[in-house]
Amino acid sequence: MAADAPPSEPLGALLARVRSWADDDPSPSTASELHGLATAAEAGDQDAEDRLRDLFRGALEFGTAGLRGALGPGPDRMNLAVVRRAAAGVAAWVAARDVPPAVAIGRDARHGSERFVEEAAAVLGGAGLQVHVLPAPVPTPVLAYATRHMDVGAGLMVTASHNPAADNGCKIYDDEGRQVAEADATAIARAMDAAGRLSDLPLAAASDPRRHQVGPEIVDAYLAATRRTVLGPARPRTPVEVAYTALHGVGSPVVRQAARASGFITLHEVEAQAAADPDFPTVAFPNPEEPGALDLLLAHAAYVGADVAVANDPDADRLALAVWDRSAGERSDPGAWRVLGGDQLGWLLADHLVRRGGLPADGLVATTIVSSTLLRDLAREAGLAYAETLTGFKWLSRAPGDGQPLVLAYEEALGYCVGDLLRDKDGIGALLLAAELVSDLLAEGRTAFDALDHIARRHGVHATGQWSARLEGADGAARIVAAMARLRSTPPATVGGRRVASVTDLAAGAPSRGLPPADVVGLALEGARVVVRPSGTEPKLKCYVEVVEPVAEGADVAAVRARAHEGLAGLLAAVPDALGLA
C-alpha cells in the first residue's frame, strides 16, 4: 500500500506515488481519474494538487473490524484497488491460521458493493480458498451467522453500515464469527502491505469451481436458529402491531420473513424506505441515532396505530425502538411517540429476559464502558455474571472468555446480541425479542414506560446522552488528537458545575478490569460520569454522559426523571467547553 505522505512531500514525489498507484489500479475509471489529476497538478492546477494530497495523505486503516471510507480513487478511499489488496490480505491471513481454507462473503446494497464482492471473490478464489458468496443483498447478521454455520475460516461483509451514502467498506470476521481482534487486524494489514503488485495477483473467474453461490437457504437457516435462540417457549402470545423501517437498507425481506414466522407480529412497513436504495433519498444520514432519521417511521406508527415502532440501520445489525407516550398526546399524534435510547432498550431487554426465566445459572450479560452502568445492577439483582468491555462488538463478542453462556450483550449505539447463536450485533434477532417484550407488556396491561419506571424504583433513574463533534479532514483529525491530549494533561476541575472526583485514562489499559489500552478518558463526577473517545468508524470525537438519581421509596419517578434529565442537559451543554471545542 502507498506509504503515508511526509508532512511536506514535494510535488514530484507525490506525482510519482500517484502514477505508480494508478498504473496498478484494476479499475480503468479511477486510474484515469488519477492520471488526469496528476497531469493537471503537474501543469500547476492547485485544486488538482490539493485533491491528490487529500487522496494520498495516507491509507485507509482497519477501524472497527475492517475498512470504511468514502468511495473514490487512491489509498485513502474505498475502491477496487483497496478491496483487491484487502482480499489478498485476508487470504494470506486465513492461509497462515489453522482454520478451514474457506471464506463466506456477503454485501449490502451500497454503491460499489456488488463489484467489490466480485473483486474479493476473484482474489480469494485465486489464492486457493473456497469462496461462498451469500445471496445479495443480505443483512450483516446473516453473514456473521453463516461464518460459524458454514464452518469457514473467515467472513467478509461489504458494507458501510450506517455511514453516509458516499461511503462503503468491508468488515472482516474470524472463524468464530467475531469481528477480528486487534492482533488479527494487524496481521491482515501487514499481509496487505506484502501483497505486491495487484496486477500480479491470480484471480478466479466466476465459473471457477472454488467460487460457490449460496442460495436463500442460508437466510432460512439463520431465521430458524434465531427464533429458537431469541424467543421464549412456544405459547399463545398477544399480537403486536409493529411499524417498521429498513431506512433504505437490506433488512426488509428478512424482517418480513421473521415477522410471518413469529405468528404474533403484524408488520407495517414505511413503504418509502422499504426498498434498498444506496442514495438513501429520504434521510440526511441513514443512521437511526441521527435527528430526523426516524420521522417517517413515527408518522407511520401514528397513522397505523402501532403498538411499537422499530428501525434497522441499512445493514440491519442495529435496532432502534420507539413507543407511544400517552402523557404526550394521542397515539395518532407522531409527536407523542418517543424514541428510546440504546441504553433504555438494553435495560428493557435484559429485564425481560430475567422475568421470562429459564436462563443458565452461569449466564453472562455484557456491555461497554461507554454504555450505562445500570446493566451491572440488573445483573447483580438477577444473579448473573457481568462483563464490561471496550466499545464495539469485536470486544463484546469476546466477553464470555471462560465459556460462560451469553445471555445478552449490548452497546448504547443500538447494538444488541441475544444468546450466542452469532457473535455480533443482530438487529433482526433484537427486533424479535423486543416484539416479544411488547407482547408480554400488552398482555399485562403495561407499557414500556411502566417497565422503565419499575426498573428505576429498584435501581434509580439513569439518564444517558451523547455529544459528538464531526471533525473531517487532516485538520479535523489533528483537532481530535489535540482535544484528547488536552483532556489528559489538564483535565477540567468541574464539568457543568459538578466536581471532577477522578480521571481514568485507558491509554495504558486497565488490567484489573480486563481492559486493554484504548484512546479513552473517563471523568467521574458527583452523581454522574463522562467518557470521551474518538470514533472508530467516523471522523468524530464522542462524549458519553450518564447522570444517576436515586429514587426514594414512594417518590414520584417522573419528578426524579425530570431532575436527572435536567442534570444531563446541563452536562451535555458544558462538554464542548470542557473539551476545548466550544
- Burial (CB < 10 A; 0-12, 13-18, 19+), residue 475, is exposed
Q: Which residue among 8, 32, 113, 161 is the active-site one?
A: 161
Amino acid at 116: F
Q: How far is CA 332 from CA 109, 298, 300, 305, 483, in A?
A: 33, 10, 9, 6, 45
Distances (CA, A) of 214 to 134, 205, 360: 5, 17, 34
Count of Cβ atoms closer than 10 Å to residue 4 Cβ: 14
Active site annotation includes 252: no
- Contact criterion met (CB below 8 Å) for 139 and 218: no
As a whole number of angstroms, the distance between CA 546 and CA 460 comes to 12
**C-alpha cell belonging to residue 478:** 489533528
Q: Which three cell numbers stand for residue 89?
A: 490480505
Q: How far apart are alpha carbons 170 and 57 in whole angstroms?
A: 21
The counts of H helices and E strands in the chain are 17, 21
Q: Residue 211: enclosing H or E segment and its boundaries?
A: strand 211-213
The position carrying cell 414466522 is 261
Q: What is the DSSP letter of 243?
A: E
3-state secondary structure of 527: coil
Contacts of residue 172, Cβ cutoff 8 Å, sequence gap at least 6: 65, 66, 90, 154, 155, 156, 179, 180, 184, 185, 188
389, β-bridge pairs: 368
User: Would you say 294 and 322 are in contact if contact means Cβ atoms under 8 Å apart?
Assistant: yes
Amino acid occupying residue 191:
A
Name the nearest CA neighbour of 108 among 143, 137, 146.
137
First to last CA, the chain: 38
For 515, which DSSP code? Answer: B
Cell numbers linked to 185: 487486524
- Which positions ≥6 away from 111 have C-beta within 8 Å? 71, 165, 168, 278
DSSP 154: E
CA 225 to chain centroid = 22
Decide: residue 281, CB within 10 A, 0-12 exposed, 13-18 middle, 19+ buried: exposed
HSE-up of 525 (CA within 13 Å, CB side)? 24
Q: What is the DSSP string of 462-478?
A: EEEEEEEEE--HHHHHH
Q: Which sequence positions are flagged as catalytic?
A: 161
